[in-house]
Structure 1
Amino acid sequence: MELGQIGTAMVTPFSYAGDIDFDLTEKLIEHLIATGTDSLIVCGTTGESPTLNHQEKSDLFKYAIEIVNKRIPVIAGTGTFNTAESIKLTKQADELGADGIMLVTPYYNKPDQKGIVTHFAHIAKETELPIMLYNIPGRAAVNMEAGTVIELSKIKNIRAVKEASGSLDQMSEIISGTDNGFKVYSGDDALTLPVLSIGGDGVISVASHIAGSEMQRMITAYRSGDTANAALMHRTLLPLFNAVFSAPNPVPVKYALAKMGIDTGGVRMPLVAGLGEGASAFDKVWDKFKENEHVFH
């Protein structure tokens, strides 16, 4: 699974009536491709997947695949807490031409490690698409342990993990215990550089909506051996990374996109659009980041 250095977990643009806005989606996709996104993840957490019904997900997969037109890989977020539903959506994504799928750890029902293995193994045998696992214990209420990822990596089409546990120890263990073809991506923007330093492959990002080019320059600097400049870029980006998660995701990044003139509409309940009193704090971080853009040139 060739995801490149930065996969963007794309927000889902909505009309102000609350429907998916496909015209805005096309504009967003073009913006992302132009600013450093190597692969596109559709209907992930940032895309507000829990609020999208089955048909909406299928429609969004189809549209994104058509607009991208093989320029970069499109990864369909088909994981749910329901194994049968995940298989059904995975088969649809395959038929529509997705380049891979992302499967989140089952949330809410809190399976044990054996249940997690069983869930993913059942889905994997129903498709030949490459699979990226997605571990996010802060949302799923269960941590997919390193040993579980290592066990699952032995299934031929499970080829990557998005690790949002925040644990570099866990990620190090996964890297050490899997073959060289298995990819480990940070699920946290702020850990992009640290994950690279322990042998990881990149990031599945939210901040790349608004700082994709700068993040690419940081990664390229690190990989070319210019670690001092990469570290400076990381420190410059870090306040922005934190600001992007200053309110429930994707509220802040949609706010920031609007500041850039890229309309992605509001969010669906139970989220609430806008940063309220937090807007001024975000604006200060944004202005400081723009002032320091020379760091990336």
Structure 2
Amino acid sequence: MTDQFTGVLAAALTPFTADASAVDIAGIRRQVEHIVAGGVNGLVPGGSTGEFTALTTEERTVVNRAYIEAAAGRVPVIAGTGALSTAETIALTQDAAEAGAAAAMIVPPFYDVLSFPELLAHYAAVTAAVDLPIMYYNIPAATGIELSAEEFGELGRVTGVTCFKDTGGDFPKLTRVHFDQSEDITALNGWDTLTFAAFALGARAGVWGAASVIPQLCSDLHRALVVDRDLDRGRALWALINPICVFLETHNYACAIKTGARLVGVDAGPTRRPILPLPDADVEEFRVLLRDAGAEVVA
């Protein structure tokens, strides 16, 4: 396991111009400054929060490279490079490596559901082709692939995948991997409302979209639970953060994150269609939740 998979890793969004026709590079720089200033430990662009399925292949390379350039070595960037074919996944991962990514997060192909042997072959091909730590992106609701705890361990042993971001929401399974398969693969949290439980369990890191909106609160939670081992402080922080996480998981996630970014003063433009803006009532609800948590909200 490599050092960059430690602490709070912000699932980063993709800023667009006002009409959503192009990636907003200046907007990426604003996002990075906002997140890094909040003490977050790393950036993960190009995932679901970053609307990667709405980007062209060229835009995906542009976004990853822009985040790497803006981070300027201050925090590691784990670039999302999963694609529908092995060849495109390798090409995107090679480009991220050449640009200076610290690692790559790779979701398995998500249209034709892969068998476990096909999954192993896919990741083995990527790890053989690119000398870069690989994070498996576990999101069964999108891929249809539901691995057992033992299969996660085999994935690490056979392919060289070092860890996985768990966006499956099965905390008992994550716990089994954490205790029983840790020699072969490291379980990282990727389900917002399980963040407190995962850090309390001992998960080394969490890939967390809320960290793109409230980075300081997210960093404070990690420090309280993991660094300082102050359970009372962690509980108090989680009482503020959890309602925000519940809100995010109740709406289209990328759209909710972009709404939050706008509310805290780092507007990243709209989501791309077919995703529509949140209704005004939901925006106002989010505004109240952020204020209640102590976040500075713009008018």
- Give the alignment's TM-score, normalised by structure 2: 0.91
**Residue identity in the other structure for 1:47:** G
Identical-residue share of aligned pairs (%)? 24
How much is the aligned-residue C-alpha RMSD, in angstroms? 1.9
Task: Find the aligned partners of 2:119 and 2:280 in 1 and give their Cα distance.
Answer: 39
Q: Answer yes or no: is 1:289 the counterpart of 2:279.
A: no
Q: Say whether the 8 Å CA contact 2:15–2:269 is kept in structure 1.
A: yes
Task: Find the aligned partners of 1:231 and 1:114 in 2 and give their Cα distance.
Answer: 42
Task: Find the aligned partners of 1:282 and 1:60 in 2 and give their Cα distance.
Answer: 27
- Give the alignment partner of residue 252 of structure 1, picking from 248, 256, 265: 256
Q: Say whether the 8 Å CA contact 1:116–1:144 is kept in structure 2.
A: no
Q: Answer yes or no: is 1:130 the counterpart of 2:143.
A: no
Q: Answer yes or no: is 1:241 the counterpart of 2:245.
A: yes
What is the CA-CA distance between 1:283 and the residue it aligns to?
2.7
**Residue identity in the other structure for 2:156:** S
Evaluate the alpha carbon distance shift between residue 85 and residue 156 of structure 1 in structure 2; reply closer, same or farther with a 3 A threshold.
closer
Partner secondary structure for residue 214 of structure 2: helix
Alignment of 1:89-128 (within 5 A): 89-128=92-131
Q: Answer yes or no: is 1:4 the counterpart of 2:14.
A: no
Aligned residues: 292
Query: Which position in structure 1 is the counterpart of 2:79?
Result: 76
Q: Answer yes or no: is 1:201 the counterpart of 2:204.
A: yes
Partner secondary structure for residue 175 of structure 1: helix
Q: Say whether the 8 Å CA contact 2:156–2:184 is kept in structure 1.
A: no
Where relative contact order (Cα < 8 A, 6+ residues apart) is larger, the structure is: 2
What is the CA-CA distance between 1:29 and the residue it aligns to?
0.7
Evaluate the alpha carbon distance shift between residue 214 and residue 84 of structure 1 in structure 2; reply closer, same or farther with a 3 A threshold.
same
Task: Find the aligned partners of 1:89 and 1:64 in 2 and give their Cα distance.
Answer: 15
What is the CA-CA distance between 1:202 and the residue it aligns to?
2.3
**Residue identity in the other structure for 2:13:** V
**Residue identity in the other structure for 2:49:** T
Q: Answer yes or no: is 1:17 the counterpart of 2:24.
A: no
Q: Say whether the 8 Å CA contact 1:117–1:152 is kept in structure 2.
A: yes
**Residue identity in the other structure for 1:14:** F
Task: Find the aligned partners of 1:106 and 1:129 in 2 and give their Cα distance.
Answer: 19
Q: Say whether the 8 Å CA contact 2:123–2:159 is kept in structure 1.
A: no
Structure 1's unaligned 5+ residue stretches are 292-297
- Give the alignment's TM-score, normalised by structure 1: 0.92
Structure 2's unaligned 5+ residue stretches are none
Task: Find the aligned partners of 1:261 and 1:197 in 2 and give their Cα distance.
Answer: 31
